[in-house]
Chain A
């Protein structure tokens, strides 16, 4: 039995230790926002946060999540209470087919959590593990800058 927190809630599963976290979350816990793209950690569509760090869950065995905190796109925000990245993504009309965008946003969220005002180079370094076949990269980059600004303004407003 492996226990971890999934979006703040403690859960446990009897899935075998080598089952990838992605499929445990999708098939057993029925959260479908994280996607399957390559099964080899090469495209980032499956990106979630493990204790706040962006991880490729299609190759991460569930045993690695033991007693850790897993966050998926479902917990990042929603229409009523969005993460600044989600707002920025909509403002820039980033998604096309949209399939990779959960992973893109989770990678970007992990970046912004540790780097409040990333440069283009920082963004390139953090986001180059995420593939988008629709070619939304220029908009993703612009949206991350916008979200960083939004975050900065909201923090400034509070101080």
Chain B
């Protein structure tokens, strides 16, 4: 963190420090800097980048210059989900200015930018809009009120008689800009609880408008991590052990080091890096490296054996209790009808369009990092540790993320880039290839699940039992993050030791919630039991879009369909009858029945439904297909979502479309397999992506709601695979309990 200085500070023009630059700029700009943090108890200075613009800086988020520029320091990572647009809309609404008049910056590390309710500056879990909806509106409202008060004091016009809107203050037939009162506002205390607009006063929230980042992204101007460049910057590629966790035993660098353009070959913690003038030089030279590896235990595992181990565990390891209601599994024996089924999903890679990349410059006691990542403090801690530069001298420069989906929660690429910059003594941009990306991801875990359900005479669910076998995502996240998050407060070795306790914890003591989430809960019944047993060969895993829900939604909603058919009931109606605890889900399912014309399709067309709540957002889908000679054609996907108030309905629809296509890709094709511990897939030819010609019509309907917004980045994904598998069952009578679906069917 930067030095902590309280309140306005006047500094001499000599000996300009980072802090004084800020103040000086503020004074020169005609306003003053006041640090009034909204969330933290202490008062850190605003981010250094604000010094460029000067003016009124009421907090870390907003800055109003005397020339009436409004700068917003947008605190969440923009990875496509639309926070750049959404967060700005919240601020704009309460400042009462159009969102497109605000100059948006991607925020650096600063305590005020931590997500409300979270200890970190992280973006994930479909949380941003939910967490910031009231928070950022309050920031905007307070600043608008400050402008109003300052204008009243300066003009003598009663505050209530002033109109503060669209960047102008109007009163007594006179007109000023917000910026005109920036300096005066800075001299007054910032109001803390200015009244928020009521929904009927909204001008921007709830309306559709084009994404603010669209122009930059259609002209090639938007800066991603890969686009960072400056004179003297070298490119680096890393040769890693084919088996994750392996380390260098010996290396012959002769051929690589003498390859054209190569500046240096350096060994780092997990491999050998080639540093060259240009990327393709580094890439070609890396192919010439001859490396012998120390292989980890993972090298003893291939996919077939892993499956066998997991099946053995399902049979013999009762695991840990994750949830128990009523009598749990013991009640099964009392039911007339017991239905059982076992489901499976494989490991998956994220495959963000932009492979991992990070630029690091270590010079003059500072470490500058240019990166798009989802948890900034972890990136900062990694950079501090691997550069040896004190954390307060590390600066993270945020870029747009060329996709996140959970992959960029992990800062392994920041660690690598920093280690290479340190070892080679020049600024470097680390560029992963697609092969690096597919082979060295933090994968969505493999999962095996067995359901047992007891039904009463009427087919109603009395008892619901789930046994899950998988590795524990949370353990890897802790291992990947703890020492970096706490870098500088506890010794790295202690943090590293602590970070490895998660494996033991989740295997022996408590169930990792992210693994079992969504296995039960859509349809509560008197007796429930969820148990989890750990089988983990050691392939690094992580958070993949929708996390546990990504596979558990497929399991739970596929099995629900089986129950409906066993009970002889319509799958839509059966879900309605078993979800009476959730009025929101009931509304979603009822609207879906209508919008999808459920049960009323042309001859030869078949429908499947899935309804799943994730991240507090009930979402349900109907998929309409036809099947011809084992070839499935997907005609249409109808989606209904209740995300509370839709701040920008068009972005909500876009996120549903996005989750559906991401989920459909995995459902049809996604599978990462291991051979002697090494990932067998490498690029889009053997880890295929859904393409435009395979994308069906998608229709999204949003439940009309004024409730506090819930997330939309992930909830569109979980229902896709089960809705499709359920449609295939309707069409063919063949029940699919494993993904990917292309093992059983072709898709046109």
Interface residues of A (CB under 8 A from B): 15-16, 19-20, 23, 26-28, 30-40, 42-43, 45, 72-74, 76-79, 82, 85-86, 89-91, 93-102, 105, 123-125, 127-141
Contact = CB atoms under 8 A, between A and B. Distances in A.
B417 to A, nearest CB: 16
A18 B604 CA distance: 53
A27 B235 contact: yes
Max chain B C-beta neighbours (<10 A), residue from A45, A74, A98, A102:
A98
B353 A132 contact: yes
B165 interface: no
B689 interface: yes
Given A43-B689, A95-B213, A131-B689, 7 more contacts: A33-B221, A37-B434, A42-B685, A99-B224, A99-B400, A128-B693, A139-B654
Nearest to B429: A27
B236 interface: no
Q: Which 10 A-B pairs have the closest CB atoms?
A: A33-B220, A135-B661, A98-B217, A99-B402, A97-B80, A96-B80, A95-B217, A124-B693, A73-B220, A32-B227
B360 interface: no
Interface string B346-365: 00000111110000000000
Given A38-B684, A42-B685, A135 B353 contact: no
Interface of B: 78-82, 210-211, 213-224, 226-227, 229, 235, 260, 278-280, 283, 351-355, 400-405, 431, 433-435, 650-651, 654, 657-662, 683-685, 689-693, 695, 697-698
A35 B353 contact: yes
Given A93-B210, A95-B214, A128-B691, A135 B260 contact: no
A77 B219 CA distance: 7
Contact of B79 (A36, A78, A97, A139): A97
A42 B683 contact: yes
B626 to A, nearest CB: 18
A30 B220 contact: no
A52 B557 CA distance: 49
B263 to A, nearest CB: 14
Would you call the interface of chain A mostly helix, strand, loop, or mixed?
loop
A117 B657 CA distance: 25
B693 A98 contact: no
Contacts of A73: 219-220
A34 B402 CA distance: 13
B692 A140 contact: yes
Contact of A20 (B220, B260, B280): B280
A134 B280 contact: no
Contact of A90 (B78, B210, B235): B210
Nearest to A102: B220
A158 to B, nearest CB: 24
B658 A136 contact: yes
A20 to B, nearest CB: 6
B520 to A, nearest CB: 29
Considering residues B226, B689, B692, which has the most beta carbons from chain A within 10 angstroms of its beta carbon?
B692
Contact of B660 (A77, A91, A124, A135): A135
B685 A99 contact: no
A131 B660 CA distance: 15
A26 B278 CA distance: 10
A70 B217 CA distance: 21
A63 B405 CA distance: 37
A98 B689 contact: no
Contacts of A19: 278, 280
Among B79, B80, B355, max chain A CB count under 10 A is at B80
A15 B281 CA distance: 10
A131 B353 contact: yes
A73 B222 CA distance: 12
A124 B692 contact: yes
B402 to A, nearest CB: 3
21 contacts: A23-B278, A28-B278, A32-B220, A36-B226, A40-B685, A43-B434, A79-B219, A91-B210, A93-B210, A93-B211, A94-B218, A95-B211, A96-B82, A98-B216, A105-B218, A130-B691, A131-B689, A133-B403, A134-B80, A135-B660, A140-B692
Nearest to A143: B218
A23 B661 contact: no
The winner among A27, A124, A133, A138 for most chain B CB atoms within 10 A is A133
Given A36-B226, A72-B220, A137 B278 contact: no
B402 A35 contact: yes
A127 B650 CA distance: 23
A127 B695 CA distance: 12
A57 to B, nearest CB: 12
A45 B227 CA distance: 14
A100 B353 contact: yes
A135 B224 CA distance: 19
B534 to A, nearest CB: 30
B665 to A, nearest CB: 8
Nearest to B229: A30
